[in-house]
Chain A
Amino acid sequence: MLIKKPEEIKAAEITSKELYLNRRQFIASALGAGAAFAALDLAGAHNVHALEKLPNVKKGPAAYNTSEKLNALKDITSYNNFYELGVDKGDPELNAKYLITKPWSVAVEGEVKKAKTFAIEDIMKLAPLEERIYRMRCVEAWSMVIPWIGFPLSALISQVEPTNNAKFIQFVTLVDPKRMPGQKPSLFGNPIDWPYVEGLRMDEAMHPLTILCVGLYGEILPAQNGAPLRLVVPWKYGFKSIKSIVKVRFVEQQPATSWNKMQPQEYGFYSNVNPEVDHPRWTQATERRIGEFLRRKTLPFNGYGEQVASLYKGMDLKKFY
């Protein structure tokens, strides 16, 4: 728990990655879990360790960064919903090696004056990189606190100059079964109609809390977390924060979104975190913070109501869930 001026200290400075990983190795061998386990852990550590450190990351605005206890890197990188890399929570980490992200480009198109395809290297230079420590609330009623690195989506938007017709933005994930083995057809059909698509209303996209994310814990984003470029919208359920983006399309009509297409009665377009509106199959009133035993109460807009509630003034959020 941070006590003094949390805004001055970056998460990666509190527990360095090396120390953190060494500690894990030490615990693994001290427990005498056996050579096999130790080797496994080392291999895993090596995998994560190959990631590049991001230079010149500044601390994000204090008002946006929570001072809650961070989740461990291991939890953030081993418990993922990323069906392109497999449907089990552990699959994305195991299949991360297939997702090669160099070279990578992102086409920005649609209702804009300056449509452009950006190389990922150029996107990373669009704005200064900031560390944003956000709560992440999954629609499955678990949550984490994650030190993302990125910059406001608005920085990309201003580059392409949207026209007056641009009312929504649609985001599209890569389709490539070679790099995304979860996209290979299976006996029982695909869990999702690829590509994964998501969308935001223009004002949501322009909100300063909404970021394009390129890193985590001081380093470039691991594949299983949506490398090399993902969205993070902290007041919405996790599935809105689309991963491994290849296309950003400005549109006039509300765009289709993947989970809504599959189960419209369970997942709405807005999908703001809302303890009052249960998922038809489970409660959204409480959540389990990963690493904690007792459930906690879920907060409206995932605790970001002060910043974003005004976006939805006059809307019936039970109807527009």
Chain B
Amino acid sequence: MLSYLKPLAFIICLIPFGQLLYRAYTNDLGANPIDTITRFTGSWSLFILLATLAVTPLRRITGRNDLIRYRRMLGLFAFFYAALHFSTYMVLDLYFDFSAIAKDILKRPYITVGFSALVLLIPLAATSTSGMIRRLGKRWQQLHYLVYVIAILGVIHFYWLVKSDISRPAQYGLVLVLLLGFRLYYKWSAASTPRRRALSAVATPRKDQAA
């Protein structure tokens, strides 16, 4: 039943992008439009990445396994906004000044970690097709554990760029700790109680069941 809502979720994920276009069209991006676009796309990328990481805990809590259908879409939207974020930096902010970009990536730790997160997202996006999932088998799951690293890098990127008020990156960090903490807790408790283990086996769809 939830799959009927998928087109709606797709549109919801596009709303920030539409909002950005509308604000650009109506000249409502403020005094420093490039800065506004950079922050906007960066925040949404991180937000949707955390939403992607919330899918599995939500599945476990609600028992609704069909939520898994949203995970790939959310992950790809996180990548979409991250790509927009980096393009804004490369094209609008530094206008293809590749030596300045290279210097930034090498010398500025917050850009180093942000860029690393983006680069690590690329193989995940590239292997998100059903064909790739089939072909990679067990290794697909191992590869996609990278998303935990990416999310941590994303939050560090945000934390390291603020000047003094850390409240917003701290909020993202708190949510990430909860989402990762849930996984650790679940793993630990599933391993320690047979009943949970049985539940967990049901809750993890096998590749051959997914299709």
Chain A interface residues toward B at CB < 8 A:
27, 31, 33, 37, 71, 74-75, 78-79, 83, 87, 89-90, 140, 142, 186-188, 191-192, 262-263, 281-283, 286, 288, 290-291, 293-295
Chain B interface residues toward A at CB < 8 A:
26-28, 30-32, 34-35, 92-95, 100, 103-104, 108-110, 160-161, 163-167, 170
A121 to B92, CA, bound (A): 46
Number of A-B contacts (CB under 8 A): 61
Contacts of A186 in B (CB 8 A): 167
CB distance from A93 to the nearest CB of B (A): 10
> Given A281-B108, A281-B110, A283-B104, are A192 and B32 neighbors across the interface (CB < 8 Å)?
no
For B103, B109, B163, which residue has the most chain A Cβ atoms within 10 angstroms? B163
> Given A191-B165, A281-B110, are A79 and B26 neighbors across the interface (CB < 8 Å)?
no
Q: Could you tell me if A78 and B30 are in contact, using CB atoms closer than 8 angstroms?
A: yes
Q: Could you tell me if B34 and A31 are in contact, using CB atoms closer than 8 angstroms?
A: no
Which B residue's beta carbon lies closest to that of A192?
Answer: B164
Q: Could you tell me if A89 and B160 are in contact, using CB atoms closer than 8 angstroms?
A: no
A283 to B106, CA, bound (A): 12
Contacts of B163 in A (CB 8 A): 140, 191
Which A residue's beta carbon lies closest to that of B171?
Answer: A188
A33 to B103, CA, bound (A): 41
A283 to B104, CA, bound (A): 8
Contacts of B26 in A (CB 8 A): 31, 33, 37
Q: Could you tell me if B165 and A83 are in contact, using CB atoms closer than 8 angstroms?
A: yes
Q: Give me 25 A-to-B residue pairs in the complex whose CB atoms sit less than 8 angstroms apart, sorted by A's number.
A: A31-B26, A31-B27, A37-B26, A37-B28, A78-B31, A79-B30, A83-B165, A87-B164, A87-B165, A140-B163, A142-B35, A186-B167, A187-B167, A188-B166, A191-B164, A262-B164, A263-B164, A281-B108, A282-B104, A282-B108, A283-B100, A288-B34, A290-B32, A293-B92, A295-B95
A266 to B124, CA, bound (A): 36
A186 to B167, CA, bound (A): 9
Contacts of A79 in B (CB 8 A): 30-32
Which A residue's beta carbon lies closest to that of B167?
Answer: A188
CB distance from B76 to the nearest CB of A (A): 30
Q: Could you tell me if B32 and A288 are in contact, using CB atoms closer than 8 angstroms?
A: yes
CB distance from B89 to the nearest CB of A (A): 12
Q: Could you tell me if A142 and B32 are in contact, using CB atoms closer than 8 angstroms?
A: yes
Contacts of A281 in B (CB 8 A): 108-110, 160-161
Which B residue's beta carbon lies closest to that of A142?
Answer: B32
Which B residue's beta carbon lies closest to that of A294?
Answer: B95
